[in-house]
Structure 1
Amino acid sequence: MPEKYKASVAICTYNRLSLLKLCIESIAALKTPPDLFEVLIIDNNSTDGTEEFCKTVSQHYPNHQWRYIKEINQGIAFARTRGAKEATGDIVAYIDDDCLAEANWLDEITSFYDSNAEAMSTGGRIIPKYLVPVADWFGKYFWGLVGSYDLGKSVFQMKSVRYPSGANMHFRKAAFEKYGYFDGNLGRSGKSLMAGEEKAMYLKLIHANEKVFYLPHVIVHHHVEGNKFDKEYVKRHSMGIGGSERLMNKGSFLKLSLKFLEYFAKLGYAIAYGFTYLLQGKPDKMWMLIKFRWWVIEGFLNPEKTKR
């Protein structure tokens, strides 16, 4: 067993034992030889039997190196930071606990880094795997709600406003050593649906002119549970987006003003575009699109409400 692995797969989890088991199965089924990587399961205070199960994983998959880690600071940013600190691999590959990795997932990641020494981080495609029928009001403007992430079939360098999604993102370990870790003031924590911890991390890399790439052949499938279509959940999710942007831009009146204007412009567009849904006889789509944009503004104006 090597002292240092080529890659560390980090699974951050919180009270999703049934889906975590499926995620672990997909990692155990990777084509990558198990002696080349370790798997870190970072438990963020789960109360559903996750700890007990994780301590038996090595019995089910004895050829792999599993490490169970308990992160007591609540929040996805703290869990992801703990994964980066604990990792011994040259590459830290994150996958969410409700995702399934395709068999060539890690091979595609490591081969890209081997061939591209300048790459500091990468992100892949995320395909929704619906566990329930989609809601009637659901449309393209809600792809983020179900974790869908698809920027096409070509590899390209990501700049400016584009950055990978947290459910399928990968870094050189050196990125954290050079630029620090995820901001604990951002991201989901318990029932809070704040976001932005991965965006803030990527902005540090991009502003430092580090190279971040989109890899379309690095694919995970994201389980979409029924609560994602609950309107109260959508409201909290939307407000979390706005609240996170407020926190990321605090201290800069100019940035806050520009973001505020951007959100109101998007609300205006949503109202105008919503009428096309109305003309198609789809009023639910119109109202949810408008509400989504308004809830984002509401969260931006009052970020403390998003933490409840």
Structure 2
Amino acid sequence: MPSSIPTISVVICTYTEKRLSLLTQVVESVRLQTLTPDQIIVVVDHNEDLYKRLLMDFRDVVLVESQAQPGLAGARNTGVSVATSEIIAFLDDDAEAAPDWLERLSVFYDDPDVLAVGGRVEPVWETGRPAYFSEELDWIVGCSYRGMPRMAAEVRNLIGANMSFRSDVLEHVGGFNHDLGRQAVKPLGCEETEICIRSTLASPGARIVYDPAAVVNHHVPTSRGTLSYMLTRAWSEGLSKAQVSHLVGHKRALRSERRYVRTILPRAVLSGIRDWGTGRDSAGLGQAGAIVAVLACTTGGYLRGRQIAHTTRSRAARTTTAPEEAWRTVTT
């Protein structure tokens, strides 16, 4: 444990009654932490009926309604605005924390050069992992994937379901970008990538740490294991990465993805084909095919996103239209 344990607020954002039972388990997992948080903050994203219901169910948490535009980024920023601790940890409303989650995250903040710390997100499949869904693709369902560090290491960005930041870092960079990230059922993302990059740019020499020993278990519904969802999410990831690239630069936005595409995915495809050919795993060919399809969709989404950015810049040279307007209106 660090010599001086920082105070920690945990922010959990929610938007639908469909996850109420999961949310209850998530909040309980935070209550039972070996390192007790100073605050448990539940932010309701523009759902007044849900907010009123939670007023009755959660009397010992800080319950607030999002004061920003709809979407996960705005809800997180609302949580940050009411947090009073040195460290702000974020947990999804369907991601149950292991008992020592906060304790493991807090250890790294003894180093003043550490800006943010996150951990492993383990998928808990509602009806079992689909045979064609390889672990290399677990990022599609918001989880840690094969190829990520197996021990504590410096990384470019953290996973949104399991991350924490120094509060002064979030204040310094202005919080999460409202034009990025998931909005209701639209499977966009990358707001975590963008804020992590902005944080390190604002503090040269500082570090972001990923520790796979700090675990949360993320519920994955059956609908997110379908090929349709995989490809939709892949396309959206490409769009989102293109927008991040537009904001922070091509090299910074795709540094981790280059290694993933050049080494992790080819190895997984070859392994799947080999396992299928030798009879070791009959699902191997399906896994290889799914990886190729996901890569193609992600690339297509990225190229479409770059096209949107180019069109936006051209319009901006002739009109007063703000660049982000095109992103809000053109997402396919």
TM-score of the aligned structures, taking structure 2 as reference length: 0.76
Establish whether residue 284 from structure 1 lines up as the match of residue 289 from structure 2: no
Helix, strand or coil at the partner of 2:70: coil
**CA gap 1:286/1:169 in 2 versus in 1, 3 angstroms:** same
Q: Which amino acid letter does the alignment assign opposite residue 41 of structure 2?
A: L
Q: Please, which runs of 5 or more residues in structure 1 have no aligned partner?
A: none
Q: Within 2, Cα distance between the matches of 1:253 and 1:91?
A: 28
1:45 and 2:46 are equivalent in the alignment? yes
CA distance in 1, matches of 2:121, 2:249: 35
Equivalent in the alignment of 1:106: 102
TM-superposed CA distance for 1:38, in Å, is 0.7
Q: In structure 1, how many angstroms separate the alpha carbons of the residues matched to 2:293 and 2:27?
A: 37
Equivalent pair of 1:26/1:101 in contact (CA under 8 Å):
yes
Q: Which structure has more helix as a fraction of its residues? A: 2
Paired with 2:296 and 2:188, the residues of 1 have a C-alpha distance of: 16
Query: In angstroms, what is the RMSD of aligned CA positions?
Result: 3.2
Corresponding residue number in structure 2 for 1:154: 151
Any idea what the Cα deviations from partners look like across 1:2-33, whole Å, max 9, x if unmatched?
xxx92110001122222112111211222334
Please list, as runs of the form range in 1=range in 2, the aligned pairs for 1:81-92 lying within 5 A after superposition. 81-92=77-88
Q: Which residue is equivalent to 1:79?
A: 75
Equivalent of 2:194 in 200, 223, 228:
200
- Cα deviation, 1:102-136, whole Å, max 9, x if unaligned, reads 122223333432x3233211111211212112112
Q: 2: CA distance between counterparts of 1:108 and 1:271?
A: 31
TM superposition outliers: structure 1 runs of 4+ over 4 Å = 150-153, 251-256, 261-266, 268-272
Q: Provide Cα deviations, 1:135-174, integer angstroms capped at 9, x if missing partner.
A: 1211122121233327455333x14xx3211111001101
Q: Structure 1 residues 227, 175: closer, same or farther in 2, change over 3 A?
A: same
Where 1:79 maps in the other structure, the secondary structure is helix
Structure 2 residue corresponding to 1:69, chosen from 45, 65, 68: 65
Taking structure 1 as reference, are residues 68 and 140 closer, same or farther at Cα in structure 2, changes over 3 Å only?
same
Kept in 1, the 8 Å contact 2:269–2:288? The answer is: no
* Distance change in 2, residues 1:218/1:39 (3 Å): same
Distance 1:133 1:171, change over 3 A: same
What secondary structure does 2:151 align onto? coil
Q: How far 1:286 sits from its partner (Å)?
A: 2.8
Aligned length: 292
What is the distance in 2 between the residues matched to 1:235 and 1:57? 37
* One-letter identity of the residue aligned with 1:178: H
